[in-house]
Amino acid sequence: MSGNTFGTLFSVTTFGESHGPAMGCIVDGCPAGLPLKLEDISRELKRRRPGVGEASTTRTEADEPELLSGVFEDKTLGTPIAIIIRNTDQCSKDYDELRDVYRPGHADWTWEAKFGWRDHRGGGRSSGRETVGRVAAGAIAKVLLAQHGITIHAWPSSIAGMPVPGMKDPDFSFEEAEKNTLHVPHKERAEQIKEKIEQLRDEGDSAGGVISCIAEGVPPGLGEPVFGKLDACLAAAMLSLGATKGIEFGSGFASSSSKGANQNDKPVIYRKIEPYPNLPPDVPSLRYRSNNAGGMLGGISTGMPIEFKVAFKPVPSIRKTQTTLDREGLLCDLILEGRHDVCIVPRAVPVVEAMTALVLADLLLLSLGNRL
């Protein structure tokens, strides 16, 4: 893993700036012969793309992917897969005043401190638009994982301080999440959050939230024993997203005030292990009545669903007057122009799924060399 590349065997390198000609990614290490159509990638990009929701920026990008290499007659070749997504709706003049001013809560100052130079147009490469390459790569990883019976679902479990009913609620529905622009799996709550988002937009302010994610069908044994733990890899993946501020697995921080007798998972052993044909026939399949550990023990998957939550801070681009610094170190007032999200959480849902898929795909391939 380097500054622009993620993964070991199944790796992705993203490239491009927010207001450059294109964004994109190069996926290396994808096995040959995987059925892959352009529609598999387009579908995920449309779930992420801006300009389709109350919480979203008005920047409207088609986000149509172009496959440049690595696929022939709808099958992967085993060679690097290159994908580009053209930028077509930039409005760079909105950022002219930011050439010599650092936006509060953004990476403007830190990027300039590191490189001595930055692209001030929409944040350049530090923009959330960089995630379009991750989602394109994640779409390929999802296809690979589906071949092994692994599915991933993420959803907002809280937006603007408003919690969303959990999976045990009778009105919770992943189908509903795909019908509304907030990706909220609860129709009534989606409408309530929509009103809150509109209020924040009128006030010129923004909101954060929490995204929950569950990966099902993950076989036991994924994850490396020390430095490549599954939860550590997932944490690195999620915290590489610009607006993330925290992650918890299973019962998370609540476990710190629990007792061991209550916290420890209660195992039930089943001999029927059809979902995991790669296990030797004499190895039982473990299931747990509780999943406080989030589907991982010792950094290795247990066979239970992988469950975690990711916290996202409020969007720092707001339309209220703020005090900041310019290049001369002088205080100045700033009112941000441009087109910005009120809350990035809905659009981050497919990004969280994509990064989860990249981690699991990489560890799945690594696991194939664990035993002969």
Residue whose pair of structure tokens reads 């999802």 in the numeric block: 142
DSSP helix, strand, coil percent of the chain (3-state; round to 5): 30, 25, 45
Which of 234, 235, 273 shows the shortest CA–CA distance to 362? Answer: 234
Task: Please choose, from the candidates 187, 200, 189, 181, the residue with its C-alpha nearest in 3D space to the C-alpha of residue 164.
Answer: 189
pLDDT-flagged residues of the chain (< 70): 1-2, 50-60, 90-91, 93-94, 267-290, 338-339
Could you read off the pLDDT of 72-87 as tens digits, one per residue?
999 999 999 999 999 8
Contact present, 182 and 193 (Cβ < 8 Å) = yes
Beta bridge pairs of residue 210 = 158, 311
User: In sequence order, what are the beta bridge partners of 248?
Assistant: 309
Tell me, what's the pLDDT at 58? 54
Whole-number pLDDT of residue 276: 46
Model pLDDT, residue 54: 60
Residues 6+ positions from 41 with CB-CB distance below 8 Å: 65, 67, 83, 136, 139, 140
Whole-number pLDDT of residue 173: 94
User: CA 203, CA 314: separation in Å to the nearest integer?
Assistant: 14
Give the rounded distance of the alpha carbon of 219 from its chain centre.
21
The domain locations on the chain are 5-367
DSSP code per residue over 149-187: T-EEEEEEEEETTEEPP-TTSTT--HHHHTTSTT--S-H
Q: What pLDDT score does 269 carry?
A: 56
**Of 353, 307, 342, 308, residue with least CA distance to 47:** 353
What's 368's DSSP letter? T
- Predicted pLDDT at 56: 58
CA distance 220 to 332: 55
Write down the CATH number for the domain with range 5-367: 3.60.150.10
In which region does residue 33 sit, left (phi positive, over 0), alpha (psi from -120 to 50) or beta (all else)?
Answer: left
Residue 219: predicted pLDDT: 93
Give residue 271's pLDDT: 45
**For 86, phi and psi rounded to 5 degrees?**
-70, 140
